[in-house]
Amino acid sequence: MAGNPGQPPIQDGAGFHPIWFQPRNQDAVREELREFREEQIRAERRRADRLRHQHEMHRRPREHRLRASELRHRVYNVEKIFADRLENFECALCKTYIVNTEFEDHLEACAREKGVSENQTNLTKYHFLSQPYFLEQEIFKIREMLEIEYLEVTADREKIMDMHCVICQNPHDHKGGMCYPDRQKSAFKLKVNHPVQLYMAHYENWLFYTKQKGLDEIEEKHAAHFASIERFMTSEQVDLRQYINFNMVSPDIEKIIQYRKILRDDGLEAANNFETVAFPDLPPPEGPVAVAPAVPAEAPAEAARVDQQMEEYFQWFQEQQDQILGRNP
């Protein structure tokens, strides 16, 4: 070939090799091929050593070490968990502060001693259980359990059957350690779901009893308001009946009627002047003059108006109650 003097021509069907094709010294080419093959052998040996090392590390106990940041993170969490247990929570029944670890036992005894209603007791109970303290304590227990199991398996491979697992499909895979590299992450996610759901249920119960307490207060105010109206109307009727019964037998009933008309039309001062002339024997009034209740001509209309207002108020209260309870369509 003109472009490659000294090289034999490429025969038909011969293999093409880029190194042999170069116009270089044969000894140098052979040396490069030898080095290339040796490098391939060394790479295969390194790969085999790495696989053998991984296999041995998987089978034998190895020291479990955490990074410094992970250690600090766990120390902080542990200190916070144990510090929260010594915090106090106010009991709404006796207005005293109780240590968190003793609050539930105190609440039961305090409710029996005070004789409070079940709704009030549950309101205080679920208020405590809906605090972050409850959820953090439950998550801490699960995390400690799973981490201890993982460390025990790291120290003793035979204990892997006692470790929680949600990854392996059968006991053979679990015994082979397929879930070990996961480091209990999947098991933690599954286990922690229960206390989270329970925490949300406690929070919803606290909201329910808080709403029930508000409804009870509304009903008490409603009953007290109508009771005051009823007392007012009853007392007015009694005073009116006593006044009429007394004056029906009075010989001065004509003067009394005239006095009441002057009081109605001209005011209190004119009525007092008339009383001084018409009843000279009566002693002068001391302080404010007590005027007996009158029966105005528009009494039936006023009573109807009061009844209408009471009906409107009761209808408004019923709508508010239905809205709070979620009974509105």
Reduce the secondary structure of 239-276 to three states and give it as a string: HHHHHHHHHHCCCCHHHHHHHHHHHHHHCHHHHHHHHH
pLDDT number for residue 181: 87
pLDDT number for residue 313: 63
Quick one: which of 131, 139, 118, 120 has its CA closest to 89? 131
pLDDT number for residue 47: 84
Quick one: which of 151, 153, 180 has its CA closest to 168? 180
Per-residue pLDDT tens listing for the chain (329 residues): 444 555 555 555 454 455 445 555 777 888 888 888 899 888 888 888 877 766 665 555 545 555 555 555 565 578 888 888 899 999 989 999 999 999 999 999 999 998 988 888 999 999 999 999 999 999 999 988 998 899 898 888 889 899 999 998 888 888 888 888 888 889 999 999 999 999 999 999 999 999 988 888 888 888 888 877 777 677 766 666 666 666 665 667 777 788 888 888 888 888 888 888 777 766 665 555 444 455 455 555 666 666 676 677 667 666 766 665 555 44
Burial of residue 174, with CB atoms counted within 10 A of its CB: 0-12 exposed, 13-18 middle, 19 or more buried: middle
Quote the crossing angle between the two packed helices 118-129 and 103-114, to the nearest 10°: 170
Record the pTM: 0.49
pLDDT number for residue 73: 56
pLDDT number for residue 94: 92
pLDDT number for residue 220: 86
Quick one: which of 170, 174, 146 has its CA closest to 160? 174
